[in-house]
Structure 1
Amino acid sequence: MSTKLLKRMLANRIRSTQCTTYSIWTSDNIVRSKFKDITLPKETLTNHIWEKLDRWADKPALICGVSNRCITYHQLMKFSKIFAAQLRNKFNISDGNVVLIMMNNIPEYAITLLGAAEAGAEVTTVNPTYTVYEVQRHIMLSDPKILIGTPDMVPLFKNALKLSKKVIPIINCSNDNSTIIDTVSFNELIEDSHVNMNVLNNVKRSAEDVVLLPYSSGTTGLPKGVELTHRSIVSNFLQQNDEHIRQYEDTTVSHQDSVLAVLPFFHLYGLAIVLLHKLSVGCKIVTLPQFQPNTFVNALEQHNISILYAAPPLVLFLGSYVGVKQHHFDSIRRIMSAAAPIPKADIENILKKGKRMEFLQGYGLTETSPLVTTFEIGYQNYTSAGLPLPNTELKVVDPNGQALSSNKIGELLIRGPQVMKGYRNNTEATKNAITEDGWFKSGDLCSINEDGYVTVIDRLKELIKVKGFQVAPAELESVIKEHPSVLDAGVIGVPDENTGERPKAFIVLKDGYTCQAQDIASFVANYVADYKRLKEVEFVERLPKSPSGKLLRRVLKENF
């Protein structure tokens, strides 16, 4: 363990002792952050990222984990600004226009996104595994003025435009000079040294303007456009930089953290926390276009990864895959997981392999830019999602909106500068999500203990109602995964004539293991109350997951 880390852990323990007389709970059951408030930013996203560039201009910003193609920070800014000028000059992009990006994780992703933002545009990102109909829907909802994608995305774009009856320019973002009919070459755009850069003087964007327009995952309904401003995104960066919770070390002449970017950039967790925030502090980002066991393990070994951001499926892989050995964790100081709660057993499987590293959890949503809570460095209660970030207030409310005291379970509400502006063109959904006094309704069932640590129980809308009792699927999934034969599990409520609903489990077994449904049901019965016991078990080869790793219980229900 590094000397820096030991000093930070000691400082946190001292600070925690010093804070015992300070109550983070107010008299009306609001939980305030124990960390020092940040000064709310007045700058745009790109200005914030370029702000300290001179400290690490010649260091690598992005490296492709497959081809080893490298872009330095100086090149990143240069190419981004050229691309921005091209968007203004050749495509008539103006302030507030939407630019759509649909690519896997490659270094050019950062250039296109930062270039679009530099041009004054709003950026919407699309899952590269979408079907033509899903791409068409995204185009209709976001109304982009230009589409940017890799060569394999171009046929999807063209078919989606036909369905949409729209004509929108397509930029082909290839890392070679291949040409595709009816598209514009990305390389030709950024290699044009004669572009008129003065056009960027016409960009008039402020911290209050929208810069990112991701669409919510749709785990509980159809996707909605989430309006994130420059201020909300940059505020979330600054909130993560508090010395007691920050996960990176300072970039200096002799040191640069390496971050493995396997979480998809189209999702806000991968985009904001892994890519953009780490660019703002000078880290080296190693990109992987998609998760494949061999390339992933090779990247761990070859690039001396310092920080690894994960979602539950990756945590499960790291702990169970025989190809991941102890030496693969030698350079990793910490792993952070978010997107969904993780059973303690899965975390312990990782820590057995990487005994010198920390495991952290965090909690957030697309609508909160995205991070809301995280651990203090050195904290080891893996069942918690951590403490609220600076400038963040939380409360847990009952169905009547009454704020509850510590350790009571209810819906988590969030207030802070990272909360979204609203849902695009959906006033009703915005009013339903954000109260008049600025509280965002997370839709998550949580509790907060006396010290302010949040525990996520489950999605509020996914609770199973058994004879009027509420059963949290995540609780049952956690118990099931303690069974030695189980690799993964998903639980939903299914209709029952006598009880209203009954819990049904979908089980993925470990390779080489066999098990009977009754074995699983009997195992779970030892750990839960009668009304929570499994009434049905089905074995499946895989479970439906979102790109961020969330179990799609909605899809399980649809399949059932």
Structure 2
Amino acid sequence: MLNLPIKKIFDKRIVCYVRRKHIWTKERHVKSPFKDVEIPDLTVSEYIWSHVHKWENKTAVVCGVTDRQYTYAQIYKQTQILGAALRKTFKVKDGDTVAVILPNVPEYPTTILGILSSGGVVTTLNPIYTSYEIQRQIKMSDAKLVFTIPEIVPVIREALEQCKANIPIIVMDLEKDRPEGTVSFKEIVGNTSIDMSVLKDVKRESEDVSFLPYSSGTTGLPKGVELTHRNLVANCVQQDTDCRMYEFTTDSHQDSVLGILPMFHSYGLSVVTLHKLSVGVKLVTLPRFKPETLVSALEKHSIDISYLAPPLLLFLGSHPQVTAKHLDRLRNVSIGAAPSPKADIEAFLRKVQRDIHVGQAYGLTETSPLATIAPLGYKNYRSVGFAIPNVELRIIDGNLNNLGPDEVGELVIKGPNIMKGYKGNPEANKQVFLEDHWFRTGDLAQISEEGVVTIADRLKELIKVNAYQVPPAELESVLKEHPDVFDAAVVPIPDSTTGQKPKAFVVLRENRNSTDKDILEFVSRRVAPYKRIKEVAFLDEIPKNPSGKILRRTLIEKYC
């Protein structure tokens, strides 16, 4: 256990944990042990470019597969050109939503920052989504145009047909020809003669929405999470104090960060991409996880910082082709998205053969996403560290009463990084927000006397597949579209490879005889691979409580 306050020499840098006199207040609120920070009144793009002159000639992003790369000066120029084109040619207005359906490519930062520069709002989508999933988010977000790669265009066109939307598709045509009827990204950003004065018409403020990722929140179908410019700028600044995991960029030094976490997800988007660009770090991107490309990237690029989900940590610690030499410059590893077993962390450290920092962090899309982090040198691998600066925590019981140290209850969070709310969903907002914008996480946790946070269990019903969230309600909705299905329930079951996998319980309509294979194929055509149901069992009735809520625990205990 960490005894605060302490000073610890770690990796040629003094790390100081500054403990408040009273982490726990008399109201049983838990303050961050780190000093508060001032949040600049800037938009995300303004904040990221506010210090770009310090590192404009350094590499901002490089593809770990193709070596295609851009300097900070190049990306800044491209974002301004793209923003002007979106404003002038595509008539994007302040607050219009633009969809981004891309893998981790070097042009991702240019795309999202260009959209923000135009006054637009970015909604990110998983590039492996089906047309069914894409059309739903296009419709819900009211997207005005789409950025993608050539390979995904047919799926997007099918999605646009389904939702009866006729919007432009801008294609990354850096290495492949663009499909007919789409717009060239290369031509847009290469148009240096475009009138940039149109950007003066953009009027966006820090309290305006900047990103609209879709999350299942505490339960149910995906909801649009309204993240303001202030939310994301705050989460960047919160990482620049005692929680800092990077070395400052100077004329003679620049850290490199591994960009393998998907940028469409808040963890990869905010912590890995936006924040690291704001401090001049080099981002090494990988479009998808493949063992051979990851190993190759580690050989070509010396990585200083890595943000990983548990399956990636397990891979690095166990894959025979990854050696200590591949990780010889690595200093800091933060694990998020799901808890990582202590045994996996220890196996990884044995592979590294050095005493480097490995710590767990906690957050949600709704918290922009970082809420707690294990600071440098902290070795309690079962905890997720401490509340980051400007963040307060509470533990509440079922009656919303505040609990004390080491008592288990629902974790509730307040801070400048908490989302504005779910787009157009007052009922969902009512469920997750308490008085004074306290956010209910839906996770069970306990907090020690010193402020150490440990996640105990999940109140949520989300299924975790390789750290991806799979909402049972979404799969149940898809199942019920099958003409033979009368009722359905989906629960998580253990899986040795992915952690969990979805299992469906199905009640067929009278005189119908669909097989489990029929059901599995029906769902697989409509959802991304990680959401696919792996097992089906047939029942006469789905157990429910008097209010109609599915008793998933009963299903798990009786049939799994």
TM over 0.5, yes or no?
Answer: yes
One-letter amino acid of the structure 1 residue matched with residue 321 of structure 2: G
Q: Secondary structure at the match of 1:23?
A: coil
Q: Secondary structure at the match of 2:437?
A: coil
Residues 359 and 556 of structure 1, relative CA distance in 2, 3 Å threshold: farther
- Partner of 1:5 in structure 2? 11
* Aligned-partner Cα distance in 2 for 1:558–1:45: 45
Residues 80 and 449 of structure 1, relative CA distance in 2, 3 Å threshold: same
One-letter amino acid of the structure 2 residue matched with residue 396 of structure 1: I
- Partner of 2:274 in structure 1? 276
Q: Secondary structure at the match of 1:335?
A: strand
- Partner of 2:504 in structure 1? none
1:5 offset after TM fit, Å?
A: 3.1
1:220 offset after TM fit, Å?
A: 3.3
* Aligned-partner Cα distance in 1 for 2:453–2:237: 21
* Equivalence map 1:32-71=2 (5 Å): 32-71=31-70
- Partner of 1:308 in structure 2? 306
* Aligned-partner Cα distance in 2 for 1:556–1:307: 35
* Aligned-partner Cα distance in 1 for 2:404–2:218: 29
Contact kept, 8 Å, 2:393 with 2:413, in 1: the verdict is yes
1:67 offset after TM fit, Å?
A: 0.6
TM-score normalized with structure 2 length: 0.82
Q: Secondary structure at the match of 2:436?
A: coil
TM-score normalized with structure 1 length: 0.82
Q: Secondary structure at the match of 2:337?
A: coil
Cα deviation code 1:354-395 (max 9, x no counterpart):
123110110000000000000121110000001001110000
Query: What percent identity do the matched residue pairs reach?
Result: 47
1:318 offset after TM fit, Å?
A: 1.3
* Aligned-partner Cα distance in 2 for 1:219–1:438: 16
Q: Secondary structure at the match of 1:145?
A: strand
One-letter amino acid of the structure 2 residue matched with residue 397 of structure 1: I
Question: Do residues 125 (structure 1) and 113 (structure 2) align?
Answer: no
* Aligned-partner Cα distance in 2 for 1:509–1:65: 25
Question: Do residues 23 (structure 1) and 22 (structure 2) align?
Answer: yes
Contact kept, 8 Å, 1:215 with 1:226, in 2: the verdict is yes
Residues 509 and 295 of structure 1, relative CA distance in 2, 3 Å threshold: closer
Q: Which of residues 259, 262, 282 in structure 1 aligns to 2:260?
A: 262
* Aligned-partner Cα distance in 1 for 2:494–2:364: 26
1:114 offset after TM fit, Å?
A: 0.3
After alignment, is 175-184 or 76-85 more displaced? 175-184
Residues 120 and 105 of structure 1, relative CA distance in 2, 3 Å threshold: same
Cα deviation code 1:436-473 (max 9, x no counterpart):
3110000001110111011011211349xxxxxxxxx9
After alignment, is 88-97 or 350-359 more displaced? 350-359
Q: Secondary structure at the match of 1:236?
A: helix
Question: Do residues 419 (structure 1) and 418 (structure 2) align?
Answer: yes
- Partner of 1:195 in structure 2? 194
* Aligned-partner Cα distance in 1 for 2:112–2:180: 23
* Aligned-partner Cα distance in 2 for 1:240–1:218: 24
Q: Which of residues 345, 348, 351 in structure 2 aligns to 1:347?
A: 345
One-letter amino acid of the structure 2 residue matched with residue 57 of structure 1: E
Q: Secondary structure at the match of 1:225?
A: strand
* Aligned-partner Cα distance in 2 for 1:218–1:34: 27
* Aligned-partner Cα distance in 1 for 2:13–2:334: 20
* Aligned-partner Cα distance in 2 for 1:419–1:72: 32
* Equivalence map 1:404-483=2 (5 Å): 404-462=403-461
* Aligned-partner Cα distance in 2 for 1:124–1:556: 29
- Partner of 2:388 in structure 1? 389
Q: Secondary structure at the match of 1:8?
A: strand
Contact kept, 8 Å, 1:245 with 1:377, in 2: the verdict is yes
1:297 offset after TM fit, Å?
A: 1.1
RMSD: 2.6
One-letter amino acid of the structure 2 residue matched with residue 37 of structure 1: D
- Partner of 1:508 in structure 2? 496
Cα deviation code 1:202-256 (max 9, x no counterpart):
00000010000000157832110000000000000000111x2110000000000
Q: Secondary structure at the match of 1:437?
A: helix
Contact kept, 8 Å, 1:208 with 1:230, in 2: the verdict is yes
* Aligned-partner Cα distance in 1 for 2:325–2:14: 25
One-letter amino acid of the structure 2 residue matched with residue 64 of structure 1: C
- Partner of 2:324 in structure 1? 326
* Aligned-partner Cα distance in 2 for 1:507–1:178: 40
* Aligned-partner Cα distance in 1 for 2:410–2:282: 38
Q: Secondary structure at the match of 1:336?
A: strand
- Partner of 1:532 in structure 2? none
Q: Number of matched residues?
A: 480
After alignment, is 32-41 or 381-390 more displaced? 32-41
Residues 363 and 202 of structure 1, relative CA distance in 2, 3 Å threshold: same
Contact kept, 8 Å, 1:8 with 1:377, in 2: the verdict is no
1:185 offset after TM fit, Å?
A: 0.3
- Partner of 2:512 in structure 1? none
1:94 offset after TM fit, Å?
A: 0.5
One-letter amino acid of the structure 2 residue matched with residue 340 of structure 1: A
* Aligned-partner Cα distance in 2 for 1:217–1:372: 18
- Partner of 2:550 in structure 1? none
Contact kept, 8 Å, 2:226 with 2:423, in 1: the verdict is yes
Q: Secondary structure at the match of 2:62?
A: strand
1:3 offset after TM fit, Å?
A: 7.4
* Aligned-partner Cα distance in 2 for 1:459–1:183: 44
* Aligned-partner Cα distance in 1 for 2:386–2:289: 30
- Partner of 2:212 in structure 1? 213
Contact kept, 8 Å, 1:176 with 1:187, in 2: the verdict is no
Residues 173 and 314 of structure 1, relative CA distance in 2, 3 Å threshold: same
1:8 offset after TM fit, Å?
A: 1.9
Q: Secondary structure at the match of 2:35?
A: coil
Contact kept, 8 Å, 2:218 with 2:460, in 1: the verdict is no
1:271 offset after TM fit, Å?
A: 0.5
- Partner of 2:185 in structure 1? 186
Q: Secondary structure at the match of 1:128?
A: coil
* Aligned-partner Cα distance in 1 for 2:107–2:147: 11
